[in-house]
A and B are shown apart, each in its own frame.
Chain A
Amino acid sequence: MKDTTLVVAGMATLAAGTWAFRLSGQVLRARISFPPRATRLLEAAAVLLLAALVATTALTEGHGFSGFARPAGVLVAGVLAWRKAPFLVVVLAAAAVTAGLRLAGLS
């Protein structure tokens, strides 16, 4: 970790802001009617952010390509998750496939 103070400040911002979100819905509840459409857009936005995180962490390292072993492992995990395999199986399969490919000489 490069700069501990900055990282802790970022974490504190995240913690305080998250708690504020948790409280503000309850406070607003009596006062406004929040359109369900906006709720669904917020949820969708969260999924989009997380999906982009999956793509970038699976396929890139720094500013370049991560190599084939990692995305291959994530792809297998994705197929297993889609077929409703248990969480632990999905995550261990990703690590096992990636480690296996690296052992076989593929980066």
Chain B
Amino acid sequence: MRSLRRTLERSPLSTAVLTDIALTCLAVFFIGLSYGAIAVSSGFPLWFPAVQSVLVLAGASEFLFVGIVAAGGSPFAAALAGLLVNSRHLPYGLALPAGVTGPAGVTGRGWRRLFGTHLMNDESVVFALAQEDLRAKRAAYWACGLGVLICWPGGAVLGALAGSAIRDTSAFGLDAMFPAVILALIVKDLRDTRILRAALAGAAIALAATPFLPAGLPVLLALAAVLLLVREPAANAACPAGQQPDEQPAPIR
């Protein structure tokens, strides 16, 4: 107890930030509960959400993977869809200053850097970027990353145990939980009218394709709606990516 207090006093993070991180991890725990319950009730064995939650450690893509496979889609279509969702981790790595994911000065070597890289997720990146100096950024990244590493699989295991105890999942409406979880996770993005319009168009494409295509593919087809977002600003369209710094005001969000 005394050493815990000493650690907190030495921490470069304020109590308010630590509280926010704890609440975020609690929310992740609850999403993990629903993830575990949904995975098991859609026919996955108990160990699957447990193992996937540790190895992938990126919630939305795991829901997507489970959803596509449960609907009868190929596991590789599911992995591809999951990777598209997780491609956002590449710009996250670009946005984090050097030394946040591992000890400063260590570049590309050492197990702490490799492990710290695995802790990169929406939450840990948001908290890291919100801090002022590198020491606080690193502390927030690791605190939140480790918290999620405990809470996400922990929730998934408990949810899977609870889910496997329930026999008739449709009587409890558990099949409605999965789309509701995803919707709750993306609703903040849908407040942007352009994204909402593109998302509705993509959903319409996927729904129209569902009677005719194998499971998993309709969801991928929805990506065509990204064209609705590419158009603007037109001035940059002809320039190869990466050659010209983008000075336009945010067109998408």
The interface of chain A, by Cβ under 8 A from chain B, is: 1, 3-4, 6-7, 9-15, 17-19, 21-30, 32-60, 62-64, 66, 69-70, 73-74, 77-78, 81-82, 87-88, 90-91, 93-100, 102-103
Q: How far is the CA of A36 from the CA of B91 in the complex (A)?
A: 9
A98 and B56 form a contact (CB under 8 A): no
**Which 5 A-B pairs give the minimum distances between C-beta atoms?**
A25-B93, A10-B75, A98-B173, A52-B222, A94-B180
Q: How far is the CA of A52 from the CA of B28 in the complex (A)?
A: 23
A90 and B195 form a contact (CB under 8 A): no
B246 and A37 form a contact (CB under 8 A): yes
Most chain B CB atoms below 10 A, which of A10, A29, A34, A64? A10
Knowing A54-B182, A96-B173, A99-B171 are in contact, say whether A21-B51 is a contact too (CB < 8 A). no
Q: How many interface residues does chain B have, given as a range? A: 35 or more
| B251 CB → nearest A CB, Å | 7
Q: How far is the CA of A8 from the CA of B171 in the complex (A)?
A: 30
B8 within 8 A of A: no
B4 within 8 A of A: no
A49 and B198 form a contact (CB under 8 A): no
Main secondary structure of the interface of A (DSSP, over half): helix
A49 and B246 form a contact (CB under 8 A): no
Most chain B CB atoms below 10 A, which of A28, A69, A81? A81
Contact of A42 among B88, B184, B218 (CB under 8 A): B88
B91 and A56 form a contact (CB under 8 A): no
Knowing A7-B69, A11-B75, A26-B117 are in contact, say whether A48-B199 is a contact too (CB < 8 A). yes
Taking CB atoms, residues of chain B closer than 8 Å to A54 are 179, 182-183, 186, 203
| B138 CB → nearest A CB, Å | 13
B226 and A18 form a contact (CB under 8 A): no
| A77 CB → nearest B CB, Å | 4
